[in-house]
Structure 1
């Protein structure tokens, strides 16, 4: 066991060192020569200090991303011994299987959250230091608590379903789990705008009536049956700019951050909102759900094979009794974390495609490339976002086309 841990630590150390050198030392953000001096060149709309801060913050965030998932996988492996002790403890405390499972999930989730708290605090401090976060410590701790409760309840439900299906069909549980996950995902997507999001922020109808009428007029032209636009008080958490559309059916909402209202001009906001309406009109939320469901089918199948192989090959090393052992649940977490990390490029490639489609729709509706360019220049400036990213970072973290790519597209409509 000691030899295994030493090997894991050595591999992780080499991995981290590689990314430290790549992300912190490399020349990652140069733009093509043909872009120098154009509207996509950050030197034309950002100060040297803003460019340096944007690149520095991006390096730090990327390093945290590439380290976090392998770190979670490694910690989960190391903590399998603790999982066995937790199992022994809850089996002594409770006779009911469900209570044993719920208590085990509570203990292991709490342990993982405590161990990862320094990472969350580090990123919080970094965002504060760079002026992106306006979040107080009180809000930070409140969000941490809400995240823990929401994730805990969701994990208990999913772990309960997994163990029930595993008992009924030890070899084909993944098919049933996949089927059951579909209505659960749809339900969560449906209730998110009206139940989950308000746990964290206050939503209210857009107060700027003139802008509201312009947005509703744009919605009417898009044949969107909207009678309301929402603003959310994100300024208590961040100075960054954003807008989004989420939910499905009658609960779908188009939302602007109040920071956008403060920092963008009306014509710039309209191009951003036309983009968000493009997601709605072209049913990108549903396409995203279908893509995720299809991807999860393959994922659940591979996870079932990996889970069975791991338990049979190495389970006894830690004292795991079999696939239905409570102490084996963290193995599933380990596998899901690994697969989520590995599948990120595929998920982001799909996301970038629909984001570009929404940009196309926005230009079709407004034709105002100048406003769109100004909007994204301001987004880069305020959000401290580099206009370009190295390919590796874009593959794993880039859910949108780079700002440079988007500005180059909008230039076709800059008249």
Structure 2
């Protein structure tokens, strides 16, 4: 094909028609199943919040929080009581919500053919997660309660900063110390796919000394990858589903996107954005929690905001705020994801690979929502939005894309 023919093809290329052609490949039962799974998740947001609130109310109404507090204060100094309180509090909350957790985390995933684990293996991982949750919560509750005791007028400010610091620390340590508890991470084998990822990383100044593959296929059919961590813990990881279920072009498209998160500083930007949200949440809690305790504290056996038994009250308030802020947090994340999409298209230069990956993700994400639906419930761009972005990019670079195909076909 000559340059003239390539130019003519580029002029005739219609991004909207190409987008519709891709969308048409997901149809019938497959599309209905994808839509049903994702749309059902809209209600899970509400019901999950209600289950969480009910769990906290059970512990308050039946005096469980008071009993956990009294037990902790009998055997530990005041500063350490919140840490001991965490043990029975988190276990009780987990047991109260257990039927909901089993349905949403296991049976619903099995129903939609997304789960690869047996119930026993799933339950074992839930147990590991519970242990991690108890440890992390004990540290966080101890620090936040100390902040409330020592700064009764400004605890909302220092509390928000504490949660921000805790989140940043978690971002740094989770990839190295927590993720390997659930999956095995091994160095990616040498070969063309690895070479291309390394080349893209080096071209964009992303550390690429280590590229890890983890065995997500033992748990799920979902494809994923990430550039995670902060500072010395930064690592490039992709799951084995991505390698096994996609072509090299699709893998490159996904990794270009993930490299974009690193290059564009999205981890730090999200930490900053969520710091502002934490300020808002803690300030509302600063106003609401004392008022709730004044009205119901005597009935529940909660003394004041610095009482470990007040922790369920904090969670009720923050759960309601979090539910109301869902469109805001979704939008913050979705904007970053869209920016990473644009970066990935330029880094990998694989628009069709990107479009096909968007279709693969649509196994469990509704591919073509309405604009309001996408704004409210999507923390990533929809499949249609992503495919259209890829086809717009392809239209602007069609001579290059088709030229590569011609060159590859001649070899």
Query: Same fold, TM exceeding 0.5?
Result: yes
Residue 307 to residue 41, structure 1, CA distance change in 2 (3 Å): farther
1:214 aligns with 2:196: yes
Q: Distance in 2 between matches of 1:91 and 1:275?
A: 47
The answer to whether 1:110 aligns with 2:91 is yes
Q: CA deviation at 1:121?
A: 1.1
Q: TM-score, normalised by structure 2?
A: 0.86
Partner of 2:155: 173
State which drifts further: 36-45 or 139-148. Answer: 36-45
Partner of 1:66: 46
Aligned twin of 2:60: 80
Q: Compared with structure 1, are the counterparts of its residues 393 and 117 closer, same or farther at alpha carbon in structure 2 (3 Å cutoff)?
A: farther
Q: What is the Cα deviation at residue 405 of structure 1?
A: 0.6
Q: Deviations over 1:17-43 (max 9, x none)?
A: xxxxxxxxxxxxxxxxx9997534676
Give the distance between the partners of 1:132 and 1:291, measured in 2 at CA. 32
Mapping of residues 157-168 of structure 1, within 5 Å: 157-168=139-150
Distance in 2 of aligned mates of 1:408 and 1:91: 57
Whether 1:321 aligns to 2:321 is no
Stretch deviating more after TM superposition (249-258 or 34-43): 34-43
- Aligned pair 1:250/2:223, yes or no? no
Deviations 1:184-208 (A, max 9, x none): 2222111111111111111111125
Which one of 171, 176, 186 corresponds to residue 168 of structure 2? Answer: 186
TM-score (norm 1): 0.85
> Which among 369, 382, 407 is matched to residue 351 of structure 2?
369
Instruction: Determine the C-alpha separation between the residues in 1 that align with 2:73 and 2:170.
Output: 35
- Do residues 348 (structure 1) and 302 (structure 2) align? no
Deviation of 1:67 after TM superposition, in Å, equals 0.7
Instruction: Tell me: CA distance 1:327–1:391, structure 2 relative to 1, closer, same or farther (3 Å).
Output: farther
Residue 24 of structure 1 corresponds to which residue in structure 2? none
Asked if structure 2 preserves the Cα contact closer than 8 Å seen for 1:216 and 1:228, the reply is no
TM-superposition CA deviations, 1:318-376 (whole Å, max 9, x none) = 23222233321210111222222222211111111111111111122233212211222
> Of residues 22, 25, 32 in structure 2, which corresponds to 1:52?
32
Structure 2 unmatched ranges of 5 or more: 1-13, 399-411
2:210 paired with 1:228: yes
* Cα distance in 2 between the residues matched to 1:230 and 1:108: 37
CA distance in structure 1 between the partners assigned to 2:335 and 2:220 by the alignment: 27
The alignment partner of 2:333 has SS state of helix
Q: Any idea what the Cα deviations from partners look like across 1:251-305, whole Å, max 9, x if unmatched?
A: 1122111001111100111111111111111111111111111221222222111
Aligned length: 380
Distance 1:239 1:228 in 2: 24
Find the partner of 1:101 among 82, 91, 104.
82
Distance 1:217 1:84 in 2: 55
Residue 237 (1) aligns with residue 219 (2): yes
Deviation at 1:391, TM superposition (A): 5.3
Aligned to 1:132: 114
Q: How many Å separate the matches in 1 of 2:197 and 2:76?
A: 58
Question: Are 2:128 and 1:121 aligned?
Answer: no
**Cα shift readout 1:73-102 (whole Å, capped 9, x = no counterpart):** 133224313335424651685253355433
Give the root-mean-square deviation of aligned CA atoms. Answer: 2.3
Counterpart in 1 of 2:381?
401
Deviation at 1:403, TM superposition (A): 0.7
Q: In structure 2, the residue corresponding to 1:79 is in which secondary structure? A: helix
In structure 1, the partner of 2:319 is 337
Unaligned runs of 5+ in 1: 1-33
Superposition deviation, residue 120 in structure 1: 1.6
310 and 40 in structure 1: CA distance in 2 versus 1, 3 angstrom threshold: farther
